[in-house]
Amino acid sequence: MSTMPTTMHLPQDASRLPMTLPRLLEKQRRGEPLVMVTAYDYPSARAADRAGVDLVLMGDSGAMTVLGYDSTVAVTPDELMVLAKATRRGLQTPFFVADLPFGSYEVSDEQAVQTAFRFVKEAGADAVKLEGGGETSVRRARAIVNAGIPVMGHVGLTPQTATALGGYKAQGKSAGAAVKIAHECLALQEAGCFSIVFEAIPSAVTEVIMPMMEIPVIGIGAGPATDGQVLVFHDLLGIREGRGAKFVQRYADLLDEMAVGVAAYAEDVRAKRYPGPEHGYAIEVGELADFRASFGLSAVEPDVEGAAI
């Protein structure tokens, strides 16, 4: 006879249950907007988790926001693996997606599957994301899905190949380009992707494509018609110089606040205001006397009679 309990005690807020693919699809079906944000380390992951977002993407944008590269092209799987592991340790409930970096999946299906396996097995990713909707990306997506790993697609502006697209600018602004994006979306959907990111696509184009999509679509600069939105952590919190892309809504200016805080600390150190007495640790008077005596020094009077200093 089973000893399993007949009732399940759920958290008061059921939305804090770990996010799964069936729950994401159910939220899409009910028309509940999906919230995704990038994270690249333990602190940013904890902030995203506490905020109650649905999905967290360890994006290859970490190459620029965290590692200081001027694009996402140079970052390696090993570098992103460090960021992915740290991010995973900070997450409890969001669905965790890891970006596959440029050059780690394009060569062959075998390369793509092996790279995806690494991010799932070593970093604990729930899914992986790859860019592009051309023939190669579709084949790689299908191979990874067939290996049992959920895949998120990415169309429109694909930063890994931005040079070939003419730079970091909106895509699909001509009828032919918009048709190409629509075909890419449908091909990725048919390949088994569980979701697709639309980046920097005209809102009107998104509105035409959305009725064709059965899987959740996450937008970034693609208008309000998508099933959800994603922003880069450092963009939305202002932990970067400059204003960023047109689609970025900044909700804080933390870089300025960080600079002010560090400048205040530096000023206190130079003025010898920090550290103060309240920042020091005490030692018992007798222990201090014995310590000084071991170097032939005389005892000193305590600051307060009978107290440790």
Q: Which residues are catalytic?
A: 199
Q: Which residues is 154 bridged to in the sheet? A: 197
For 301-309, which contacts have Cβ atoms below 8 Å and span 24 or more sequence positions? 307/282, 308/282, 308/283, 308/284, 309/282, 309/283, 309/285
Identify the three-state secondary structure at position 281.
Answer: coil
Closest CA to 286 of 267, 301, 264: 301
Whether the Cβ atoms of residue 117 and residue 110 lie closer than 8 Å to each other: no
Closest CA to 80 of 70, 72, 90: 72
One-letter amino acid of 270: R
Is the preceding peptide bond at 275 cis, omega within 30 degrees of 0? yes
| Exposed / middle / buried, residue 192 (Cβ in 10 Å: 0-12, 13-18, 19+) | middle
| Exposed / middle / buried, residue 114 (Cβ in 10 Å: 0-12, 13-18, 19+) | middle
Task: Kindly give the residue spans of alpha helices, DSSP state H, lying in the chain.
Answer: 21-29, 42-51, 62-65, 77-89, 109-121, 135-146, 175-191, 203-209, 233-236, 254-270, 285-293
79 Cβ contact partners less than 8 Å away, ≥ 6 residues apart: 63, 67, 101
Compute the distance between CA of residue 173 and CA of residue 179 in angstroms, rounded to an integer: 10
Structure tokens at 206: 């998104």
DSSP 84-122: HHHHHHT-SSSEEEEEPPTTSSSS-HHHHHHHHHHHHHT
